[in-house]
């Protein structure tokens, strides 16, 4: 699986857009980019995923560069409740035991300020 690199921490003002980057320069053609977040003391929560096209849902937007070597998770209007650790994960979607693992790196601590 491709390795991901995220900044350890970021700050954002409430009401502004939060743009969280993720570098995955070794990503292969069949690997998807997934984003999760973990609010303090809670279990992680799935946010969004994509292969190569930009994706949007009710929580966020995912922008993947054309060469797929990096992506950005965008929270369009950050609130205090968006303060959390955000994880970027790259995975192949396939069956089989060797593809079963789901592991998390250190992620980015996003702090939203009033």
Partner 1 sequence: NAGVTQTPKFRVLKTGQSMTLLCAQDMNHEYMYWYRQDPGMGLRLIHYSVGEGTTAKGEVPDGYNVSRLKKQNFLLGLESAAPSQTSVYFCASRMTVTFQAFFGQGTRLTVV
CA end-to-end distance (rounded Å), the chain:
38
Question: Is 22 a binder of partner 1 (CB under 8 A)?
Answer: no
Question: Is 45 a binder of partner 1 (CB under 8 A)?
Answer: yes
- Which residue number, 41 or 114, has a Cβ lying nearer to partner 1? 41
Contact 35, 87 (CB under 8 A): yes
Burial string for 11-48 (b: 16+ CB within 10 Å, else e) reads: ebeeeeebebebbbeebeeebebbbbbbeeeeebeebb
Q: Distance between CA atoms of 114 and 90, rounded to whole angstroms?
A: 32
Q: Which stretch in 12-20, 28-36, 57-65, 71-79 sits in contact with partner 1 by CB under 8 A?
A: 28-36
Question: Is 114 a binder of partner 1 (CB under 8 A)?
Answer: no
- Which residue number, 95 or 114, has a Cβ lying nearer to partner 1? 95
Contact pattern from residue 66 through residue 105 relative to partner 1, giving x for each residue in contact according to CB under 8 A and a dash for the rest = -------------------x---x-x-xxxxx--xxxxxx
């Amino acid at each position: 699986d491709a390795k991901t690199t995220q900044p350890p921490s970021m700050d954002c003002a409430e009401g502004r857009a939060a743009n969280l980057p993720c570098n995955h320069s070794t990503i292969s053609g069949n690997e998807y980019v997934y984003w999760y977040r973990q609010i303090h003391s809670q279990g992680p929560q799935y946010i969004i995923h994509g292969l190569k096209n930009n994706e949007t849902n009710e929580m966020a937007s995912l922008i993947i560069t054309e060469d797929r070597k990096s992506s950005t998770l965008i929270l369009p209007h950050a609130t205090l409740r968006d303060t959390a650790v955000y994880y970027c994960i790259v995975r192949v979607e396939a069956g089989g035991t060797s593809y079963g693992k789901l592991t998390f790196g250190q992620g980015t601590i996003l702090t939203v300020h009033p």
